[in-house]
Structure formats: structure tokens, C-alpha cells
Structure 1
Amino acid sequence: MANSSNTPPQASADESHSDADRRSEERAATVLRPALLQWEDFKTFCLVRNISSSGLKVRVFAPVKDGARISICMIDGVVFKGTVIWHENDAIGVAFDTPIALDDVLAALRRPPADTSKNRGLRLEVVSRARFIALGQAYDLEVLDISSRGIKARYAQSVPPVGEQGTLRIDDLPDRKATPRWAREDTAGFLFLDPLSFTDLGQWVMRQYQAGLGEQAP
């Protein structure tokens, strides 16, 4: 990771005036990287299409408008903050509050995690219900977080042995083949045998959010 804090690598004042950095600021790198996007009280998945030292272009699955203040996390623990300066269809353009050191960020994106056991993909906390069906039995679950690769869930009863394949039925998503990867106390992690696309995942999160707003309406 390029920076151990929650602040992305930034260009120094002296460097920002050099010809090399001006060229870097004009350069946009295509990354096609999943990320977590937050604005106001809503957090969801998005797909970063390209990034420069001054901003990025993002595919979104929610109606984010010009002027919105947002934060985006592509690297665990590093948050980019900025303002939406344009939107078109499912794409937005974001201007960073502070220019970043682009080469350092790109290097961090390419670097594998030091702890490979934590290479689980970006995870989003959610509130949803699910049911895991295996060995002729159904196990009711409360989904705590989700990624394209699987979920963490709370269960009220025992779950099948780790590694036992079954069908995972999450509210408002197609059934998926999955298997418990770990279980402790009253929570378990389930791995999708066929990962969710970020399009399906982003659209599902938006539907869950809208459903929650509907439940809150008088």
C-alpha cells in the first residue's frame, strides 16, 4: 500500500510545478477497478474506469448528481474524497479535493495484499435475509456484509460443515451455489462458487436502499 494512513499519496508543492507532474496530471490511467462509493448516508459499490492525479471517472449504479460530495475507496484503508463535476447516464466525473501522486496509487493498486488471507475483495455492510439450503435442510441467515465473492452472515442454528456445497438464496438476488468457508460462534462466511458481477451487486444494493426508504415512508 502506498500510504499507511487513510489519506491517498499526495504530490508535494514543489513537485506539482514540475513539467513531469504537469504531464502526470494530464494523464489518465485506465484501471477498471471495483470500489466503494459513499455520499450522504448511502454507501454502495461502483467501478472506477480511469484515474488521474486530479480525479477519476466512475461507473455508478445510483443517481449521483453534480456537486455531490463523495468518498471512494479502491484500496483497503485509503479513501479518496472529492466532488462530482459531471454525470452522464451511469458515469460520473469526480475532482479530488487534493491532487494525488498517481504513480504511487497505481503501484499500490497492482501490489498484492501483504496478508493474503484478507484478499476477500471489498465488502459492504448490509442488512438483508438469506437462506442456505444443503443436505436437505434450510438454514435461515441474517446477511451482515457482502462482496462479489460471498457474504458474512449471522445464524440462529448450526450451519452445515465447512466446505459443504449448497444453494444460497439471498432476498432479491438469483439463487447461487455457495459453500461455508468458516464458522465461529453465531457467524459464518459463505463463498459464492460463481462470483456476482459488480453490475448485479451495485444494482442490488440500490434496490435494497430504495426498499428501505419505502419502509420508512409514513
Structure 2
Amino acid sequence: MVKRVAIDPATAAGAAPAANAVAGAASGEGISDAPADVPADVTAEAPGYVPRDPRLTTILLVARMSTRGWDDLCCVRNISAGGMRIDTLVPLVVGQDIDIEFKNGIIVQTQVAWVGRGEAGLRCYTPITIERVLAQPTLGPVTALRAPRAPRLSTLCPVALRCNGHLLRGNLENISQGGAQVRLSAPTPVDGAIVLIAPGLGSIHATMRWQTRDVVGMAFLDTLGFADLSRWLASSQRFSADGTGDPSPQCQSS
């Protein structure tokens, strides 16, 4: 004897979407790259709706962003073929063109699609291949001799170097989470362990990597934190040697 069971149509209709939602969450599909405050009732039927690329990869990757004479650090949170979501302290503007440079040297041209508190969504001008963007650098005869370095940001800040008991003066010309370049006030031989003393960053222990007359390249013994370096780059210390101390990109974004 077959027992018949009544099925609520509403329950049956909701079961499949619920299962699909669980499967989508497990695969990473359907994750929105818009801010959390986007209204939940925005659907495909809503005016102005633009479907998002479901092939989204969640990452945590520091990159260099630049446009029209300025550069800064950002942290790429997720990325798809059509865009990416970044964390940044820079006051970006919707419609602004931004180049994103990854550690492997790949540069992606984007435009700011939306901005939030400490974050922004970028739209790629040309669809990208995620695997290529996230791939390790191809090592050639020269690059095989050194590890790919973190993005370096331009600066002009008075600093001091402590080396072999001497205190040398100069200007910090660029910096990354892993190293820096300093131009000394006078050509002086530098070797071995050194300490970089920078306003706002304190004393950073490093080792000399190369030197050409008055310019010294160094690698930090401990990696600088993304948040600490980002705050410093956004401060007046970054360009304090040029008399302006203004790192804001807004004056150059128009």
C-alpha cells in the first residue's frame, strides 16, 4: 500500500534555491564584490542591475596602485575576470583610473566602480585571466638570482642610517614592506647590518643589498605590516623632505 503525503508547494519551491545557495557558498560563486550596505532587494529585475562575474577568487594579496604621478599600497581581497575588491586608506573617487601592479609584475588597468569605508571596487578595462595574474613570476637568467620583491612606493623623507658605529644622513627614496632605497647626503661605503631610522616608522633593522656611490638598497630583517606602512604612506612624513608633505592623490586625479 502506497502512502500519499501532501507536499506544501511553498516548501517545495524553496527547497531547490536553498540547496543551490549552499552549493554556491561552498564553491565561492555568487559572492558579491559590492559593499555590505548594498540593499538586499536589488535583483536582476531592478533598474540598472548589472550581473556580477560569479568566478570570484578570494585572496589576500598586497599590490601597488598608481595613477598620474602617485602610488600607494592596497590589499586585494577578492578578484574576478572583470574586477576586484581592495582595501585602501587612499580617498579614491568613482570613475578614477587606477593601475594595479602585482608582485609578479602584471599590471591591470582598472576604473573605480564604487568606494566604501577603507575599501573600493575596481572594474577591469579588459577581462583578465586570474591564474595569470596570481601566477609566480617567470624566472629568467637575471630574475633567477633574486626573489620577487614586494611593491615599492616612492617617498622623499629625511632619514638616518646607523652602520658600523656611524650615523649617516640621507633621504628615503622608496620603500616596501621588505626593503628600501636611501640616497645618502655624501657617498659613504655601507656594508653588513644597518639600521634605518625614519620619522614615523622608528628604527628598522636591515642588511645592505647593493650600493652605487651615494645610493643604498637594503632588505629589512622583519617585514613591515601592511596596516603600519599604509598609515605611514598616508601621513605627511612620506614626502616631508620636499616641503609639502602632502601624499593625497586627489589633487592629481582630475
Cα 1:147–1:134 shift into 2, 3 Å = same
Q: Which residue of the partner structure matches residue 127 of structure 1?
A: 156
Tell me the residue number matched to 2:22: none
Q: Deviations over 1:140-172 (max 9, x none)?
A: 122222111111111213133x22x23210132
Q: 1:52 to 1:189 in 2, by over 3 A?
A: same
Counterpart check, 1:147 vs 2:176? yes
Which of 99, 107, 112 in structure 2 is aligned with 1:79? 107
Cα pair 2:137 2:148 within 8 Å, conserved: no
Contact 1:178 1:193 in 2 (8 A): yes
In structure 1, C-alpha distance between the alignment counterparts of 2:131 and 2:218, rounded to whole Å: 36
* Runs of 4 or more consecutive aligned structure 1 residues displaced over 6 Å after TM superposition: none
Number of equivalences = 187
SS of the counterpart of 1:121?
A: coil
Q: Which has the larger radius of gyration?
A: 2
CA distance in 2, matches of 1:104, 1:52: 12
Structure 2: 5+ residue stretches without partners: 1-51, 248-254
- Partner residue, 1:202: 230
Of 56, 61, 77 in structure 1, the residue corresponding to residue 89 of structure 2 is: 61
Tell me the residue number matched to 1:50. Answer: 78
Confirm or deny: 8 A CA contact 1:76 1:122 kept in the other structure. Answer: no
What one-letter code is carried by the residue in structure 1 that aligns with 2:164? L
Normalising by structure 1, what TM-score?
0.76
Pairwise mapping of residues 65-214 of structure 1 onto structure 2 (< 5 A)? 65-106=93-134, 108=135, 110-111=136-137, 113-114=139-140, 115-116=143-144, 117=146, 119-155=148-184, 156-160=186-190, 162-163=191-192, 165-207=193-235, 208=238, 212-213=245-246
Question: Aligned to 1:204, what secondary structure does the other structure show?
Answer: helix
1:99 aligned counterpart, secondary structure? coil
Instruction: Provide the C-alpha distance between the structure 2 equivalents of 1:174 and 1:183, rounded to a whole number of angstroms.
Output: 23
Q: Quick one: structure 1 residues 184 and 35, their matched pair in 2 at CA, closer, same or farther if it must change by over 3 Å?
A: same
- Mapped partners of 2:138, 2:106: distance in 1: 15
Q: Distance in 2 between matches of 1:44 and 1:88?
A: 17
- Identity among equivalent positions (%) equals 28
Work out the CA distance in 2 between the residues paired with 1:57 and 1:213.
Answer: 26
TM-score (norm 2): 0.66
For residue 209 of structure 1, report the CA deviation from its aligned partner: 5.6
| Paired amino acid for 1:189 | G
Higher strand proportion? 1
